Amino acid sequence: MVYEVGVAHTKSCATRAAVGRMNSARNSRPPKPRPQDERGLIAPGPIGIAGEPTLEEWKEVRDAAFDELRKHPIPETLIQAIQDFRPHAEVAWVTEQGEPASLNDPAQPIVQPPKKESKESKEEVTVGDRRLKSDDLFNESFPRTAGNALAAFLRPHLARLRRAKASPVRLGKMLPRSTIATIAMDILETNQLFGNEPGEELVQLLRELLDVDKQKAKADRQFVARDQASWILAQADPVPTRVLARTVGVNASSISRWRKEPAFREMIQDKKKAINDLESRGLWPPKLDDQQRSTMSVWRNACAQVREVLACVGPILNGLSRLTQKKNPKGRGVGNRQRLIHKLPELQKLRIDALNKIEAEIKGIDEKLASDAEERRPIL
């Protein structure tokens, strides 16, 4: 039995060795020659550099994007101008009758030919069979270049995409976002190639593509509240943190954090310098506008109503004071009466303090309104 096992083991080792020699011989064979045609080796195509698309791939993607644009209601003249690398070409805007378009008229763009090929004078442009002055056609209310004009036409398509809910391209037959982005980058790169600045419409289109065109409401409120707080502290410092937070509409923790920031303290100092400069020129405090005057008048009326309520509370408290001084023969409610006796002086003091604050507030509002009315009075 031992001999048979040894023979089997020897055979298996020999088999593994033979298989190994066969594999090494197969791997050491020279590679097969690639198929050839009459012109030589068949190459798979040009290879891009550093992962960039090849020239053929770039042209194919670019042409496909412009072909997609032509399926939508966008002027052909603008598409052709951008495809011909002319986003800087001037655009004239005319009505359907060929007249120079105004801001409220439905206008059609007319892309001017290249300057070397144009036979028109700089002062006149031919529209159909008519010659019009270029100053009338190139209206500042419309985009002046082909790239900027095409971006203006693409923005409504992007707006519809952003408002759509599900499958806007497949079901709604809308212009794909990738196509809009490809055209926008093509316009930007061509402008950069020729040293031209991107237009306002193109910049706004790129902002909308990047979803940075809408400011966050919370960040905007924080900025306004921070500016208001700096103006208040520049005029009346110190102000309690909670009072200031209620005034500008933020949390008290935000006011505490701002007060620790060197930039906020520097902002307050800048506001103080501005106030001193305005006071030296007689421009501070600023005049009230109609809305501020209306708000102050409403606040004064509210304060006057509170003053009347507090005035009515006085006799009620006096009556309670006299009532507590009477003797109770049955001895009922002695504990409640004692607590009320102790609370009455405190309530009277709170009422008097509130009346004084209301009176001071009304007086301050009256002085501001009177001062503003005096400044508004015409000098005869």
- 248 touches 229 (CB < 8 A): yes
Distance from the Cα of residue 262 to its chain's centroid = 27
In a domain, 185, yes or no: yes
Residue 352 pLDDT greater than 70, yes or no: yes
- 261 touches 230 (CB < 8 A): no
Instruction: List CB contacts of 286: < 8 A, sequence separation 6 or more.
Output: 278
Residue 24 pLDDT greater than 70, yes or no: no
Residue with tokens 């012109």: 39
Categorize the per-residue pLDDT at 83 as very low, low, confident or very high, splitting at 50, 70 and 90.
very high
In a domain, 5, yes or no: no
Q: What is the mean pLDDT of residues 330-352?
A: 67
Whether 179 and 225 share a structural domain:
no
d(CA 355, CA 311) in angstroms, rounded, equals 8
Give whole-number Cα distances, 213 to 150, 189, 256, in Å.
19, 21, 31
Helix axes 252-260, 241-248, angle to 10 degrees: 110
Tokens, residue 243? 């009072």
d(CA 47, CA 61) in angstroms, rounded, equals 16
Alpha-helical runs (H) found in 47-145: 55-69, 76-83, 134-137
**In the prediction, which pLDDT does 1 show?**
42
**In the prediction, which pLDDT does 120 show?**
47
Whether 346 and 366 share a structural domain:
yes
Closest listed residue to residue 183, CA positions, set 61, 34, 357, 21: 61
Tell me if residue 94 falls in helix, strand or coil: strand
Q: What is the mean pLDDT of residues 6-32?
A: 57
d(CA 171, CA 168) in angstroms, rounded, equals 6
Other C-beta atoms closer than 10 Å to the C-beta of 105 total 15
**In the prediction, which pLDDT does 150 show?**
93
Whether 132 and 265 share a structural domain:
no
Residue with tokens 């909308």: 208
Whether 61 and 203 share a structural domain:
yes
Whether 163 and 258 share a structural domain:
no
In a domain, 360, yes or no: yes
Whether 158 and 301 share a structural domain:
no
Distance from the Cα of residue 14 to its chain's centroid = 77
281/219: higher pLDDT: 281
**In the prediction, which pLDDT does 46 show?**
47
Whether 347 and 372 share a structural domain:
yes
Closest listed residue to residue 79, CA positions, set 175, 208, 163: 175
200/221: higher pLDDT: 200
Residue 100 pLDDT greater than 80, yes or no: no
Whether 99 and 65 share a structural domain:
yes
In a domain, 296, yes or no: yes
18/155: higher pLDDT: 155
Whether 113 and 233 share a structural domain:
no
Categorize the per-residue pLDDT at 368 as very low, low, confident or very high, splitting at 50, 70 and 90.
confident
Out of 209, 236, 267, a domain closes at 209
| Residues counted in the chain | 380
In a domain, 39, yes or no: no
Percent of the chain with pLDDT over 90: 21
In a domain, 254, yes or no: yes
Other C-beta atoms closer than 10 Å to the C-beta of 30 total 5
Residue 126 pLDDT greater than 70, yes or no: no
Categorize the per-residue pLDDT at 110 as very low, low, confident or very high, splitting at 50, 70 and 90.
confident
**In the prediction, which pLDDT does 156 show?**
92
Q: DSSP labels for 338-352?
A: HHHHHHHHHHHHHHH
Other C-beta atoms closer than 10 Å to the C-beta of 162 total 14
**In the prediction, which pLDDT does 41 show?**
43
Closest listed residue to residue 196, CA positions, set 123, 124, 65, 90: 90
Whether 119 and 247 share a structural domain:
no
**In terms of residue numbers, what domain contains 353?**
290-324+338-376
Whether 137 and 225 share a structural domain:
no
Domains contained in the chain, number: 3
Closest listed residue to residue 286, CA positions, set 328, 333, 251, 235: 235
Q: DSSP labels for 12-46?
A: HHHHHHHHHHHHHHHHTSPPPPPPEETTEE-----
- 225 touches 249 (CB < 8 A): yes
Q: What is the pLDDT of residues 280-310, one digit of tens each?
A: 877 776 666 666 667 777 777 777 887 788 7
- Enclosing H/E stretch for 109: strand 108-111
Residue 371 pLDDT greater than 80, yes or no: no
Whether 63 and 82 share a structural domain:
yes
In a domain, 299, yes or no: yes
What burial letters (b/e) apply to 192-220, b meaning 16+ CB within 10 Å?
eeeeeebbebbeebbebbeeeeeeeeeee
In a domain, 229, yes or no: yes
**In the prediction, which pLDDT does 147 show?**
92
Q: What is the pLDDT of residues 180-192, one digit of tens each?
A: 999 999 999 999 9
**In the prediction, which pLDDT does 76 show?**
92
